[in-house]
Amino acid sequence: MFLATTGFTQYCVRSAMDEQPEKPMQRPNNPHYQRAEKAKEFINEFLDLLSKLPSHYCSRGTSKLYLEPQLRAMIDLHRFYATACTEKGYPILGLRTFSEMLNSTTISLFRPKKDRCDIRKGFETGNDK
């Protein structure tokens, strides 16, 4: 009944149900792979060196850190990263890989609007006293 409903073959279901020990993932000895791993490690080092601001006015349980407002867009941050890579001699990884690595950390590029005090909000809207 199950096989007729899903369209799977009997072999497909049995082979999926067989318990096979997972093989540990082996890293290839390819030099290109090793360069990419070093470049990813450099992204983490680069992000650690950037100056960050804590989130003061968001919920108390948040552990996000925000980059200083000089870097407003992801492309600006990636250009800054590319400059650092050329200075240090590391290969430059693409914007997509860089943004995925940034999103996997507790660092955020944009500061939320609710993360501003009342004085700054008033100044920005023109309601300062």
**pLDDT per position as a tens digit, 54-96:** 766 555 556 778 787 777 788 999 999 999 999 999 889 999 9
23 found inside a domain: no
13 found inside a domain: no
Q: Which domain holds residue 121?
A: 36-125
Number of domains in the chain: 1
Mean of pLDDT values over 32-56: 83
b/e burial code for range 5-24 (CB count within 10 A of at least 16 → b): eeeeeeeeeeeeeeeeeeee
3 found inside a domain: no
pLDDT-based confidence at residue 110 (cuts at 50, 70, 90): low
Tell me the chain's radius of gyration from C-alpha atoms. 24
Q: Is the pLDDT of residue 43 over 80?
A: yes
Q: Is the pLDDT of residue 115 over 60?
A: no
75 found inside a domain: yes
99 found inside a domain: yes
28 found inside a domain: no
11 found inside a domain: no
Give pLDDT, residue 85.
92
